[in-house]
Amino acid sequence: MKKIILTGDRPTGKLHLGHFVGSLGRRVELQNSGEYDKIFIMIADAQALTDNADNPDKVRENIIEVALDYLSCGIDPEKSTIFIQSYVAELTELAFYYMNLVTVQRLQRNPTVKAEIQLRGFAEHGEGDDNQQRKGTPVGFFTYPISQASDITAFRATVVPVGEDQEPMIEQTREIVHKFNSVYGDTLVEPQIMLPSNAACLRLPGTDGKAKMSKSLGNCIYLSDSADDVKKKVMSMYTDPDHLRVEDPGKVEGNTVFTYLDAFSRPEHFEKYLPDYENLDALKAHYRRGGLGDVKVKRFLIAVLEELLQPIRERRKHYEQHIEEVYEILRRGSDEARATAAETLADVRRAMRINYLEDRELIERQAAEYRK
């Protein structure tokens, strides 16, 4: 069986370090490993619209930002297919059929959807609403796990590299595949999730120490941030609030600077930027003992991040001067994605026996019956 990757992001803002360690960096490695027959990377604009119906301009403006972020991280359009979800109409048709295989109750149990409904306030009372009506959850939003199953199965993806919060989506996709194949015969490919291997990468906290980098919390380091911004953000990062003087012993657990070092630093970085320490364990030990100041650790983190971000920034500058070309890449990718999804849709329609107009057997049998 072919090894195929599909993954993607909602275009609601520029991508940040959380995206990078959660999935984007991995995609580039997988692309360059040459081990995969095909890699599809999707800009999930239709999914972004499920909770941005009143703000299509936000999605419209961010397609290019996400595309620029992909290209500047090293996604190579010669090796990977980058495309726009809404330009592959076949995906919506697949979702329409999959909807019949999923219950409302099952969707209500999806933990990510549940959490997002809370986060977006869909379950709360609407403002100034004296009927005590709830704002309500858009149906498209509620059913986006089904649409995500279409995204994944349309490309016969075997592997989906995503962050931890996407696990329930992949689980639900697998259930849909099972159900489809058992009802209509073996047709769809069951995908595997690929999560980051290191705990710090699984969920990178914001610079304020909050659980997650999130645009609305203003705690992100963006891939497109300038060196100056990165420096400022790291210098004001949350550390150990009880580590007041350099001599004080410090805590490494829950200390965001160390969590970032867990995610980004490698032994070579010590040799290069902080040769007094052999590795991260040695640095942590000194911090715990006391006598190591936050500023020194932060300066090291800045050097480590700059080594990653500087080439990304350079490539971004190049592509920013070639916006028309980037849109051409998206057009070509979307055409190719559409052709692939159309093949799967034809298989699905055949398996579901709704390919009436292509089905000679059906037409001839009924014709013969009526001739009798």
Tokens of 124: 């709360």
CA distance 42 to 329: 12
Q: Which stretch binds ligand TRP (CB under 6 A): 94-102, 113-121, 148-156, 244-252?
A: 148-156
Does position 6 interact with ligand TRP (CB under 6 A)? The reply is yes
Does position 44 interact with ligand TRP (CB under 6 A)? The reply is yes
SS3 state at 27: helix
CA distance 131 to 126: 9
The residues in 254-313 that bind ligand TRP, with binding defined as CB under 6 A, are: none
Nearer to ligand TRP, 74 or 191 (CB): 191
Tell me 206's DSSP state.
P
Nearer to ligand TRP, 10 or 38 (CB): 10
Q: Which stretch binds ligand TRP (CB under 6 A): 29-37, 145-153, 196-204, 232-240?
A: 145-153
CB of 200 to ligand TRP, least distance (A): 19
CA distance 22 to 200: 9
Q: Which stretch binds ligand TRP (CB under 6 A): 6-14, 67-75, 251-259, 269-277?
A: 6-14
The residues in 7-36 that bind ligand TRP, with binding defined as CB under 6 A, are: 7-10
User: DSSP of 311-369, one letter per residue?
Assistant: HHHHHHHHHHTTHHHHHHHHHHHHHHHHHHHHHHHHHHHHHTT--GGG-HHHHHHHHHH
Among 152, 159, 252, 297, binds ligand TRP (CB under 6 A): 152
Question: What DSSP element (H or E) covers 161?
Answer: strand 159-161
Quote the Cα angle for 202-208-212, to 5°: 30
Nearer to ligand TRP, 84 or 101 (CB): 84
Nearer to ligand TRP, 9 or 65 (CB): 9
Tokens of 157: 């993806």
Does position 160 interact with ligand TRP (CB under 6 A)? The reply is yes
The residues in 46-65 that bind ligand TRP, with binding defined as CB under 6 A, are: 47
Tokens of 316: 């971004």
End-to-end Cα, the chain, rounded Å: 46
Per CB under 6 A, residues contacting ligand TRP are 6-10, 44, 47, 148, 151-152, 160, 162, 166
